[in-house]
Every structure is written in C-alpha cells, then in structure tokens.
C-alpha cells in the first residue's frame, strides 16, 4: 500500500486525511493517508524519504521549508516560494503548489472578475496574488502591517498597509488573513470594508466551514459570498491527481468533499 501524509505543526485538526482517504476508496486505489506532526521543517525532505512516502501535503508552518528542501519545484510554486505538495518521483522529491490553482477554481462559480482586493499578505496571499496575476486579473494587496509587502512589491503587485490604502472599485474582495479563524475579528476597519463593499460584487474567505464576520458583513451589504471549502477541496483534488497520476472526475471529487465534511 502506498503511504501519503500531511506534514504540519499543529496537524491534529487537519481534514486532509478524511478527504484523501475518501478519494482513494472511491477510486479503489491502494493508498493510505495519515497525519505527520513535524516540529522541525528543515528536515522535511529527510522525513519524507526515510518514511518511504509516495506523496505528501504540507501545511502551516512548513510550506517555505518544503520549498527550500525539494529536489525540484514545478509550476507557479517557483514564484510563490512555498509548496503544499510533495511527490516521490523515482527517489526524487518533486514539489508543487496546488493552493494557487485551487483558489482559481474555487472562484470560478462567481461571474467574470477583473479586479480583486486581497486582504492579508501571508503565505496564502502570495499563492492567491500570483495565481490572479497569472490570469491577468488586477490584484491589490492590503495588509495590517508593512513587513510582508516586500514580496508583492517585487512582483509588481500594488500593495498597501492599513495606513496608506486608497479606496477604488473591485469586483471581488478576498480575506486571506487569519482574522476570523479563531478570533472573531474583521480583517480590517469596518468602515473601510463597507466602502469597498459598496461597489464590489463578490466576497471570498479562505477560512473554511463558517460564516466569518467578514463574510457576514459582505452578505449584509448585498455581496455574493463564499467560504474556503471549495479552495480546500480543489487544492486536495489537484494534489490527489499528482498522488494517483490520474485525472479526477466529479464522482471522485464529490466523494472527497463528503470525506472533508465527515465529522468522525
């Protein structure tokens, strides 16, 4: 049986095992997916090889370490400089980022989008901003503090901290901050959000499985809203395709969605 894991710290909360194992079962694939708690991200490649894993996902806080340690990084991950998927290809560790295309697929259900305001500047924001930029969708980053904006400036992405933001029109507002995850905060000033929502059509929160204060406010202001479930599912489906080397049809992806929602 082929072995797969998710590396993280903490990792106990992860729903990836339920989702991936549901996919293996639906496909009749001889694989098992488990959790691997990893303290020190710098040894991620050694752990991957030592345990004879065929593939892995990587979550917080190891995505940058996983990028730096891989034998080969493919696709948009080279620009993002963070990866969430490892594959064992003839003893070589190949790395991908499926968060970026997973996000793009998740927002397909909205109408045509030309411009996006992206709240937050962490690892997820990097993946989302570069994915949007690659699709020629105009993206503006707004973050609480200045420190993380350097990366975006180097990629010619307009970026502001709360202090110097200038409001304009956006089709979609994305919350990629962790505000709303545990603490019930808005990701930025309420008045600023309400002003942006006056002209925006859609709001997306990367947080999965709850209506965050951000989404609630967007809905109150008449926007179409979506949480992070589809993003989580699609990044998992794309990783699953790398794991199994097979294209996933709707039956398998819906089995994976069911697995994701499994409360057991």
Per the document, the length of the chain is 264
The answer to the question of residue 120 lying near ligand NDP (CB under 6 A) is yes
**How many angstroms separate the CA atoms of 229 and 238, rounded?**
14
Q: Which residue of the set 25, 63, 210, 261 is catalytic?
A: 63
The answer to the question of residue 148 lying near ligand NDP (CB under 6 A) is yes
User: In which residue are the tokens 């080969």 written?
Assistant: 72
Q: Out of 58, 87, 93, 121, name the contact with ligand NDP by CB under 6 A.
A: 121
Mask of contacts with ligand NDP, 188-207, x by CB under 6 A?
A: ------------------xx
Which residues within the stretch 222-251 sit at the binding site for ligand NDP (CB under 6 A)?
A: 228, 231-232, 235
By CB under 6 A, the count of residues binding ligand NDP is 27
Mask of contacts with ligand NDP, 12-51, x by CB under 6 A?
A: ----------------------------------------
Phi first, then psi: what are they for 80, rounded to 5°? -70, -30
DSSP secondary structure string, 135-203?
A: TT-EEEEEESSSGGGHHHHHTT-EEEEGGG------SEEEE-SSTTTSS---SS-HHHHHHHHTT--EE
For the record, the structure tokens of 198 come out as 């006056």
**Residues at the annotated binding site for shikimate?**
14-16, 59, 84, 99, 208, 235
| Catalytic annotation present for 63 | yes
Neighbouring C-beta atoms of residue 166, cutoff 10 Å = 7
Q: Out of 176, 193, 259, 260, name the contact with ligand NDP by CB under 6 A.
A: 176
**How many angstroms separate the CA atoms of 209 and 197, rounded?**
22
The answer to the question of residue 208 lying near ligand NDP (CB under 6 A) is yes
- Helix residue ranges per DSSP H, the chain: 16-27, 44-50, 63-69, 77-80, 99-106, 123-134, 150-154, 190-197, 213-220, 229-244, 250-261
Q: Out of 9, 14, 60, 105, name the contact with ligand NDP by CB under 6 A.
A: 60
The answer to the question of residue 115 lying near ligand NDP (CB under 6 A) is no
User: In which residue are the tokens 């979506």 written?
Assistant: 226
Beta carbon of residue 90, minimum distance to ligand NDP (angstroms, whole number): 29
User: Could you tell me which stretch among 2-10, 12-20, 67-75, 139-147 binds ligand NDP (CB under 6 A)?
Assistant: 139-147
Bridge partner list, 202: 172, 224
What's the angle, vertex CA 82, arms to CA 183 and CA 1, rounded to 5? 95
| Footprint of ligand NDP (CB under 6 A) | 60, 99, 120-125, 143-145, 147-148, 176-179, 181, 185, 187, 206-208, 228, 231-232, 235
Residues acting as catalytic residues: 63
């Amino acid at each position: 049986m082929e072995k797969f894991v998710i590396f993280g710290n903490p990792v106990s909360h992860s729903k990836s095992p339920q989702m991936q194992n549901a996919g293996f079962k639906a496909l009749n694939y001889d694989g098992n997916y488990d959790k691997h708690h990893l303290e020190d991200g710098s040894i991620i490649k050694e752990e991957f090889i030592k345990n004879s894993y065929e593939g892995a996902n990587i979550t917080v806080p190891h995505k940058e370490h996983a990028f730096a340690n891989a034998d080969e990084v493919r696709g948009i991950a080279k620009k993002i400089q963070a990866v969430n998927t490892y594959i064992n290809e003839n003893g070589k560790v190949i790395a991908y980022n499926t968060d970026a295309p997973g996000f793009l697929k998740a927002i397909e259900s909205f109408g045509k989008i030309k411009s996006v305001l992206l709240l937050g500047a962490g690892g997820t924001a990097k993946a989302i901003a570069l994915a949007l930029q690659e699709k020629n969708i105009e993206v503006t980053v707004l973050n609480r503090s200045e420190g993380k904006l350097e990366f975006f400036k180097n990629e010619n992405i307009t970026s502001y901290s709360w202090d110097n933001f200038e409001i304009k029109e956006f089709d979609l507002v994305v919350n990629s901050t962790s505000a709303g995850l545990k603490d019930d905060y808005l990701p930025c000033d309420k008045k600023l959000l309400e002003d942006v929502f006056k002209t925006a059509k859609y709001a997306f929160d990367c947080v999965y499985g709850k209506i965050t204060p951000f989404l609630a406010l967007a809905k109150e202001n008449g926007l179409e809203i979506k949480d992070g479930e589809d993003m989580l599912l699609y990044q998992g489906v794309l990783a699953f395709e790398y794991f199994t080397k097979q294209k996933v049809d709707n039956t398998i992806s819906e089995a994976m969605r069911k697995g994701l929602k499994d409360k057991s």
